[in-house]
C-alpha cells in the first residue's frame, strides 16, 4: 500500500491530510522537493504556481529538470504528480494582490521575488510558510525554522524584515532560513541545501495539517 508507512507514523492523523488544500508558490530547487514530499506523504490537493521553464542550469538541484528541458515547470510536474493543479503565472506583487487565497489551508512560499514575498506576508501571514535563501550554502544542518522576527544570518531575510517594518507590519509568520554564511557572491547552489529547504517546508506543512 502506497501510504502504509506514513499511516504507521501518523496514525489517525493521516486522515487530516486527505482534504488539506495546499498552494505551493514556486517549484524550483526548494519548491520541487517540497512538492515531491507533500505528494509522497499523502497530501493530494495541491496547486502549484510558477511561470518558468526547465533549463540545463536547473539540473544540479531541481526535480525532473533533466527530463523536461524547455518545458513549463508546472505542466511537467503536473504530468508527474497525478491530480496536481498547475497554474502558469508570474508570481509578482500584482498577482498576489488579485489572487484569492481563501480556498487554501496553507500557502507555501518558495519564490525569490522580494516584493511578492512582502505582499504575501501582508495578505495571508496566518497560513503562510516562507522560504528564505537556500543558495550559496553547503551545510543543511544550519537550516532553522522560526517566526520572521527571530530569523537571522540571512541577508535576504534581513531585507524582508526591513521592508515589512517600513510598512508597519508586525505580525508573525513561519520562515525557513539558514544561519550558514554565504560561501560565494554569485548564485551558486547545492541540492543538499535547496532540497533540504524543500523537505523542511514539507515537514512544516504536514505538522500544520495534523495540528502539531
Cell of residue 202, nine digits: 514539507
Q: How many CB atoms lie within 10 A of CB 172?
A: 13
Class of residue 9 by CB neighbours under 10 A (exposed 0-12, middle 13-18, buried 19+): exposed
pLDDT tens figures, 7-33: 999 999 999 998 999 999 999 999 999
Which pLDDT score, from 0 to 100, does residue 53 have? Answer: 93
Which pLDDT score, from 0 to 100, does residue 139 have? Answer: 97
Which pLDDT score, from 0 to 100, does residue 1 have? Answer: 80
Nearest to 32 by CA among 8, 68, 3, 1: 68
Which pLDDT score, from 0 to 100, does residue 2 have? Answer: 86
Q: Give Cβ neighbours of residue 191 (< 8 Å, ≥ 6 apart).
A: 29, 60, 61
User: What's this model's pTM, rounded to 2 decimal places?
Assistant: 0.96
What are the residue ranges of helices labelled H in 23-89? 29-41, 73-80
Q: Answer whether 84's CB lies under 8 Å from 77's CB.
A: yes
Interatomic CA distance for residues 131 and 83, integer angstroms:
25
Consecutive 10-residue averages of pLDDT for the chain (212 residues) = 93 95 97 97 96 91 90 95 97 97 98 96 97 94 97 92 96 97 90 97 98 85
Which pLDDT score, from 0 to 100, does residue 186 have? Answer: 86
Q: Cα separations (Å) of 106 from 43, 46, 155, 207, 209?
A: 12, 10, 26, 11, 8
Which pLDDT score, from 0 to 100, does residue 159 have? Answer: 95
What are the residue ranges of helices labelled H in the chain? 4-10, 15-18, 29-41, 73-80, 93-98, 114-124, 155-166, 191-210
DSSP state of 53: B
Taking the C-alpha atoms of 54, 89, 193 and 159 in order, what is their torsion angle to the nearest 10 degrees? 130
Provide the 3-class DSSP secondary structure of residue 20: coil
What are the structural domains, with CATH classification, of the chain?
4-210 (3.40.50.720)
- The length of the chain in residues reads 212
Q: Answer whether 49's CB lies under 8 Å from 26's CB.
A: yes
Which pLDDT score, from 0 to 100, does residue 23 have? Answer: 98
Which pLDDT score, from 0 to 100, does residue 185 have? Answer: 86
Amino acid at each position: 500500500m502506497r501510504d502504509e508507512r506514513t499511516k504507521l507514523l501518523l496514525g489517525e492523523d493521516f486522515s487530516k491530510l486527505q482534504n488539506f488544500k495546499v498552494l505551493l508558490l514556486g517549484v524550483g530547487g526548494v519548491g520541487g522537493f517540497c512538492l515531491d514530499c507533500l505528494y509522497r506523504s499523502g497530501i493530494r490537493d495541491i496547486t502549484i504556481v510558477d511561470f518558468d521553464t526547465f533549463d540545463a542550469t536547473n539540473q544540479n538541484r531541481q526535480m525532473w529538470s533533466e527530463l523536461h528541458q524547455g518545458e513549463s515547470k508546472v505542466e511537467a510536474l503536473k504530468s508527474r504528480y497525478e491530480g496536481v493543479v498547475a497554474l502558469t503565472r508570474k508570481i509578482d506583487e500584482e498577482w498576489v494582490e488579485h489572487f484569492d487565497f481563501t480556498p487554501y489551508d496553507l500557502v507555501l512560499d518558495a519564490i525569490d521575488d522580494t516584493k511578492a514575498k512582502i505582499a504575501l506576508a501582508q495578505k495571508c501571514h496566518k497560513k503562510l510558510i516562507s522560504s528564505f535563501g537556500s543558495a550559496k550554502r553547503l551545510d543543511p544542518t544550519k537550516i532553522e525554522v522560526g517566526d520572521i522576527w527571530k530569523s537571522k544570518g540571512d541577508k535576504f531575510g534581513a531585507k524582508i524584515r526591513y521592508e515589512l517594518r517600513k510598512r508597519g507590519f508586525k505580525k508573525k509568520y513561519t520562515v525557513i532560513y539558514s544561519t550558514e554564511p554565504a560561501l560565494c557572491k554569485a548564485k551558486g547552489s547545492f541540492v543538499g541545501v535547496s532540497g533540504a529547504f524543500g523537505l523542511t517546508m514539507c515537514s512544516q506543512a504536514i505538522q500544520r495539517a495534523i495540528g502539531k
